């Protein structure tokens, strides 16, 4: 690989680190820097100028100083890789950032705090007619450790499995408010029912659903807690498939906290671990691996690693196809849409979307997710009318899905076209945008 092929310094560092099987914390320990510093370097936010540090990176990563110097770095304090989208909650580092990563963290925290103060004025606040926060009961449970068990009878293994089936059905139908209200009681009922492994398997499955719900509703704090509890219970259960799903949720947690390389590594390593688990029937194992590779591909795309993202999404498609998993192949296709979007390839995303029949997608959640991804691509492409129509289709498929932050952000931008997009203000209000 040569620097002239379009890769950046940060992308090359991330690729070398991944090849060694290291997390960002491992590289940080090798070069006596913080994990945040490594993350900033790999995102091309923090430049590395000193020859001593470049030489150290070359030595520990198994390359040469001359090779590192062929890769472009941000030329100024506000520069970043042209292929990366840096969140508004992050600020570019000063030229001395590699020496003072505490200042980088301070500025990131201040920017995040500013976003938290000003965001309610623009986007993200539910309108007066919206239902109460659906995650409040779940938050109360994880903080206080208690939840009322539904029903009058003592829970049984059969009733727990019935509740688990209902939880999955509610998620697929995008009934997020009802699911958020019911999950704490179902989790409480699952604890202590049956043998320890059986109880842990059910609890982990419920927490996996809870983590997915928190992702949908944008509560990163609860995502971290629920995914951790899912993985803890899953390991007690010893069920490889439940463990893999929990690891996928943990990967999503790290991604949402901005640790993109680590998030990618977690998902890929989990897929490799699953490969070695011969106790799982091959079709189920391959289907779970496909989901992990698809998640890793999306994260690699957010990182800006074009080649790795495309390699992973191809691996996901091949794995799902080998499993004969039609549902998994549909999910991979939706992830592929997101990969194109994150890489800035809106035109290719739309071309792919045209090959997908949304009416053939089996759940309301998946149909709405498809239309929101199409809306994001059209918005990126500068076609507001098409984006608006896609959002309306998402609302028709699953009304609660449009309260996701991605839909609200598009709706906020579309308000500029109020005179040419009839009804867009009403739609924005239904999505939870506070109109000012």
Does residue 188 contact residue 226 with C-beta atoms inside 8 Å? no
Looking at the domain assignment, is residue 334 inside a domain? no
Looking at the domain assignment, is residue 337 inside a domain? no
Looking at the domain assignment, is residue 127 inside a domain? no
| Structural tokens at position 287 | 């289907």
| 146 shares its domain with 170 | yes
Domain termination residue (choose one: 270, 296, 325): 325
Looking at the domain assignment, is residue 201 inside a domain? yes
Cα–Cα dist 387/384, whole Å: 5
List all residues 6 or more positions away from 9 whose beta carbon is below 8 Å from its beta carbon.
Answer: 41, 44, 47, 48, 68, 71, 72, 73
| 185 shares its domain with 137 | yes
* pLDDT of the residue at 88: 31
Note down pLDDT in tens along the chain; length 436 residues: 444 456 788 888 988 988 888 888 888 888 888 888 888 888 888 888 887 788 889 889 988 888 888 888 875 433 333 333 333 333 333 333 443 444 344 344 333 433 332 233 223 333 333 444 788 888 888 877 766 666 657 889 999 999 999 999 999 999 999 999 999 999 989 998 889 999 999 999 999 999 999 999 888 889 999 999 999 999 999 999 999 999 999 999 999 988 999 999 999 999 999 988 989 999 999 999 999 999 999 999 999 999 999 999 999 999 999 998 888 899 999 999 999 999 999 999 999 999 999 988 989 999 999 999 999 999 999 999 999 999 999 999 999 999 998 999 999 999 988 888 999 999 999 998 887 6
CA atoms within 13 A on the CB side of 134: 26
Looking at the domain assignment, is residue 162 inside a domain? yes
Task: For 174, list phi and psi in degrees, rounded to 5.
Answer: 60, 35
| 59 shares its domain with 88 | yes
* pLDDT of the residue at 107: 41
| 253 shares its domain with 264 | no
Cα–Cα dist 288/331, whole Å: 12
Cα–Cα dist 435/121, whole Å: 8
CA distances from 193 to 179, 207, 228, 382 (A): 21, 16, 21, 54
* pLDDT of the residue at 173: 94
| 401 shares its domain with 303 | no
Triad 380, 255, 56: Cα angle to 5°:
110
* pLDDT of the residue at 151: 61
Closest CA to 90 of 76, 78, 100: 78
CATH number at residue 21: 1.10.260.40
Does residue 286 contact residue 320 with C-beta atoms inside 8 Å? yes
| 59 shares its domain with 48 | yes
Taken as a whole, the chain contains a residue count of 436
Domain termination residue (choose one: 257, 282, 307): 257
Closest CA to 223 of 233, 213, 237: 213
* pLDDT of the residue at 131: 45
| 161 shares its domain with 245 | yes
Looking at the domain assignment, is residue 122 inside a domain? no
| 273 shares its domain with 250 | no
* pLDDT of the residue at 208: 96
| 359 shares its domain with 375 | yes
Does residue 291 contact residue 331 with C-beta atoms inside 8 Å? yes
Cα–Cα dist 89/108, whole Å: 6
Domain termination residue (choose one: 114, 144, 179): 114
Please tell me the total count of domains within the chain: 4
Q: In the chain, what's the furthest Cα-to-Cα distance?
A: 72
Tokens 């996928």 appear where? 248
Q: Write out the chain in H/E/C secondary structure.
A: CCHHHCCCHHHHHHHHHHHCCCCHHHHHHHHCCCHHHHHHHHCCCCCCCCHHHHHHHHHHHCCCHHHHHCCCCCCCCCCCCCCCCCCCCCCCCCCCCCCCHHHHHHHHHHHHHHHHHHHHHHCCCCCCCCCCCCCHHHHHHHHHCCCCCCCCCCCCHHHHHHHHHHHHHHHHCCCHHHHHHHHHHHHHHHCCCCCHHHHHHHHHHHHHHHHHHHHHHCCHHHHHHHHHHHHHHHHHHCCHHHHHHHHHHHHHHHHHCCCHHHHHHHHHHHHHHHHCCCCCCHHHHHHHHHHHHHHHHHHHHHHCCHHHHHHHHHHHHHHHHHHCCHHHHHHHHHHHHHHHHHCCCHHHHHHHHCCCCHHHCCCHHHHHHHHHHHHHHHHHHCCHHHHHHHHHHHHHHCHHHHHCHHHHHHHHHHHHHCCCCCCHHHHHHHHCCCCC
| 250 shares its domain with 139 | yes
| 204 shares its domain with 164 | yes
Looking at the domain assignment, is residue 49 inside a domain? yes
* pLDDT of the residue at 388: 94
Q: Which domain covers residue 19, as residue numbers?
A: 3-114
CA distances from 229 to 92, 168, 232, 261 (A): 34, 18, 5, 22
| 248 shares its domain with 268 | no
Burial (CB < 10 A; 0-12, 13-18, 19+), residue 164, is: middle
Cα–Cα dist 41/74, whole Å: 10
| Structural tokens at position 91 | 């600020």
| Structural tokens at position 61 | 């990563």
Cα–Cα dist 125/197, whole Å: 41
């Amino acid at each position: 690989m040569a620097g002239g092929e379009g890769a950046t310094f940060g992308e090359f560092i991330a690729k070398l680190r991944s090849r060694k099987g290291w997390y960002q914390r491992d590289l940080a320990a090798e070069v006596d820097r913080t994990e945040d510093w490594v993350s900033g370097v790999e995102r091309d936010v923090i430049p590395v100028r000193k020859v001593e540090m470049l030489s150290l990176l070359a030595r520990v990563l198994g390359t040469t100083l001359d090779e590192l110097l062929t890769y472009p770095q941000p030329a100024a304090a506000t520069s970043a890789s042209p292929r990366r989208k840096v969140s508004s909650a992050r600020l570019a580092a000063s030229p001395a950032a590699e020496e003072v990563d505490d200042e980088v963290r301070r500025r990131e925290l201040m920017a995040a705090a500013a976003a938290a103060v000003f965001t309610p004025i623009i986007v993200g606040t539910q309108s007066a007619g919206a239902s109460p926060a659906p995650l409040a009961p779940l938050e109360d449970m994880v903080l206080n450790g208690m939840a009322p068990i539904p029903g009058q009878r003592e829970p049984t293994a059969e009733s727990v499995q019935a509740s688990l089936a209902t939880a999955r059905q509610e998620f697929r139908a995008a009934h997020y408010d009802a699911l958020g209200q019911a999950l704490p009681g179902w989790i409480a009922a699952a604890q202590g029912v049956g043998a320890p492994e059986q109880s842990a398997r059910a609890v982990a499955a419920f927490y996996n659903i809870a983590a997915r719900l928190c992702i949908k509703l944008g509560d990163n704090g609860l995502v971290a807690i629920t995914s951790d509890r899912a993985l803890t219970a899953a390991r007690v259960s010893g069920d490889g498939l439940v463990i893999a799903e929990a690891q996928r949720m943990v990967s999503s947690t790290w991604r949402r906290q901005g640790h993109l390389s680590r998030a990618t590594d977690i998902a890929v390593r989990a897929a490799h671990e699953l490969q070695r688990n011969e106790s799982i029937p091959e079709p189920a194992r391959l289907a779970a691996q496909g989901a992990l590779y698809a998640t890793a591909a999306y994260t690699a795309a957010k990182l800006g690693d074009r080649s790795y993202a495309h390699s992973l999404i191809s691996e996901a498609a091949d794995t799902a196809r080998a499993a004969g998993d039609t549902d998994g192949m549909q999910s991979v296709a939706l992830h592929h849409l997101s990969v194109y979007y994150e890489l800035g390839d809106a035109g290719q995303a739309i071309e792919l979307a045209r090959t997908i029949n949304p009416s053939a997608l089996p759940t309301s959640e998946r149909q709405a997710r498809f239309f929101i991804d199409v809306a994001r691509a059209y918005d990126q492409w500068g076609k507001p009318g098409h984006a608006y129509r896609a959002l309306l289709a998402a609302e028709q498929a699953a009304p609660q899905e449009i309260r996701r932050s991605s839909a609200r952000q598009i709706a906020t931008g579309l308000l500029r076209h109020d005179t040419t997009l009839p009804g867009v203000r009403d739609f924005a209000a239904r999505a939870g945008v506070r109109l000012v």
